[in-house]
Every structure is written in structure tokens, then in C-alpha cells.
Structure 1
């Protein structure tokens, strides 16, 4: 974990949390069932936020959403039932609210940023909590998908990390699920990234990665069926 970037952005918002907030986040992102949805993902988003801070109206609130948006991440419950992304997102929002000492407007804005990741491609700002909130929501969602534009070796490593998190799922079922995800992202076209600035930075590489991954998954699915 890159301590400096984490400390920089936590210092912006620490006073608006209770005393247990950071230890709660730290325990969460170090859970052994995580690989992609761990500190590395949070550091990546904070690093990009740092580089693109001029695109945000409220950098502090976007940073808070980054810290909390995957604070609860389970691919199945204790009884073995598969866990959906919206369930994790709702639980993450509730965990944020428990530790939050933000004022009502700021807290609701962060809550809505977190909840937007439950729908992602379809999410829209229902309330303009402050001037520029809807753009901050779009920026935050673009940041969350920015890893799709990583250099191919890192993109492939991220897929492997997600596979680890779903290690209990039969391989063929996992590959089919990933294929649906890739196809959904590809079908969004230029809308994969919402802001023109982030689209210019990431769209071409993201689509190249998605197309390459789609071919690889089709090859795997065409082979002998996995257990």
C-alpha cells in the first residue's frame, strides 16, 4: 500500500469520521478473500484522483466515496449463497453512514456516490446535492472503471485477481459471467466513460483490452467444459 497517497486523502476527511473509521477500512481491504477489491484498487483510484483533481468539484467527497465504496465485498455469504454487487454496495454505504460524521448534505452526497456503483452504467444523480455533484458522480464512476484502461499485463492480472475472489465458482460459469460483463462494457461504446476528459484518456485502451479479453474468453469457453 502506498502510504503517502492514502494519508494525503484520509487527512482531508479524517475529522469527519469517528475514531474507528480508518481501522475499519484497513481491516476490510486486507481481508484474505480479496485480491482486486483490496487496497491496491483504492490506491489506484486515489492516485488518479490526485492527478485529475481539477476535474472534481469536491475532491474530498470523491475521496471519501473511494475509501468506502468497496468496504464490504463478499462474493458469497456464510451459507454459500452468491452475493450480488448491489448487496455489497448497500452494505458499504451503511458502513460509511455508521462511521460518518459528515454533515447531512455531504453525507448524503457520499452515500449517493457509493450507491451509484451498484448500477454503474445506468447510474444518474437523482439530487444535485451541491453545484457540480452530478459531474462528480460521473467522474467517480469513470475513476472506478479506469482500470479497464490499464496496460494489458495489469489488466490481465486484475482479471486473475477477480477470478481468485470467485474461486468457489465453477470455471465455465465464471467465464460466462465475465463474458457478459465484457459485452456490457463494449456495448456502451463511447459511453463507457462519461466525461470527455476521461474518455480521451482511457477509452481507446479500455476497448482494446476488452476486445482482447473477449477473444481469450471465447477461446476458453470453446474448449473442454470446466468443472
Structure 2
């Protein structure tokens, strides 16, 4: 938690926001990720996303905007809802506007958050690609870690009947397999693509 708070404070320093205000807003943002129903989409996930973004920082055009998008992309998360990304983008806009973050940065971050709905963007949107790859890095994790992730997702959707969950989950996974590539950036494609596809095929087999 302390490492995350320091990362948040350093990010806000980029925009000239004083530490006292940064500390207070961190508490608010951390609370958003601490709802009882969250098993995977917690601050641990945010920390992993931010770490992957940092590894890809040399590819970034607007690193602070990507980092803000990473912080807020799951700020609203309700497994029963279909508009989490839209609501997360609106929450980010309101939150960051109150801190007087430049409007162009807020707009860029919001657009990146919205792209996580379909996990798709344009070839020219390098910053967006970084966020999407960071968010999906878990797909290319070692098998044991991947299995822990899938169990956490199932818990978050514990209210969905088993048959319905299996059908929906397989559809989501098949959509990733049908893509020419899961990862946009060269480093993650080289490091994780093969493992991600292996993990996904294995999960589909277990669900079918």
C-alpha cells in the first residue's frame, strides 16, 4: 500500500499537486478498490498494471496520462453492470478535474479507460496500446498465477450460474484467440503472447 501511495503522490507532483492533497485523494481512490465484492480487480491489480506501464515507458507519448488511466480504469467495478468503463471514465474526469489536472490529460486518460471495454484501439494509439497490454498482462502469466486469476474472476461473478458463466467466459476467451495478436507492443508480444494463448486454450478446455 505504501509503495502505491508513493507512486500516486509522485504522479500528482507532475501536475504540481501538493503532497497533503495527494495523500487525501489516495485514500479516496484506494477505498474505491476495496469493496468486498472485488477479488481480482483490487489495488494489487492496479499495482501490476502500473508496473507494466513503467516497463513500457520508453514507448509512451504521454506517460502521466497512461498512468492516470491505469489508476482509474477499474475505479468503478460492478460485475452486474455493463457500463463500468464509461462510469470509470466519468469518475476519473470528475476526480481529476477537482485536482485541476490539465483537461487534455484528463481527456486522454478517459479515452484510454474507455478502450478497455473492448480491449481494442487504433494502430496509431501507442499510449492506449500500452494501457491495454498492461491490463492484459495477466493472460500471459505463468500457469499457476493464471489459474489463481481465473478463480478470482469466477468469484467476482459468483452470482452467475455455472453453465451461463462457462458459455460467456469461453466467448470472451475465444475473442482473444481469434485476434492476430493479443498484445500490441513488441516487448509484451515477444514475452507473453505464446504463454497467453496457451493459458487461454487450457482454460477453454477446462470450461468446455
Native 8 Å contact 1:12 1:60 kept in 2: yes
- Unmatched 5+ stretches in structure 2: none
SS in 2 for 1:71: coil
Contact 1:6–1:43 (CA under 8 A) maintained in structure 2: no
Partner of 2:183: 193
Structure 1: distance between partners of 2:14 and 2:193: 36
1:60 correspondence with 2:60: no
In the TM superposition, residue 142 of structure 1 has moved relative to its aligned partner by 1.1
Match of residue 205, structure 1, among 185, 190, 195: 195
Report the counterpart of residue 43 of structure 1 in structure 2. 47
Q: 1:128 corresponds to which residue?
A: none
Distance in 2, matches of 1:176 and 1:6, equals 39
Alpha-carbon separation, structure 1, partners of 2:189 and 2:5: 26
Which of the numbers 131, 135, 139 marks the counterpart of 2:130?
139
TM-score scaled by length of structure 2 = 0.88
* Residue among 19, 25, 29 paired with 1:25: 29
Compare 54-63 and 19-28 and name the one that shifted more.
19-28
1:8-34 residue CA offsets vs partner (Å, 9 max, x unmatched): 244212675776532221111111000
Alignment partner, residue 91 of structure 2: 95
Q: 2: CA distance between counterparts of 1:24 and 1:5?
A: 13
Picking from 133, 138, 151, the partner of 1:160 is 151
For these two proteins, the number of residue pairs brought into alignment is: 200
Distance (Å, rounded) in 1 between the aligned partners of 2:13 and 2:159: 36
CA distance in 2, matches of 1:9, 1:134: 24
Aligned to 2:74: 70
CA RMSD, Structure 1 to Structure 2 (Å): 1.9
Q: 2:117 aligns to what?
A: 118
Distance in 1 (CA, whole Å) between partners of 2:108 and 2:201 is 35
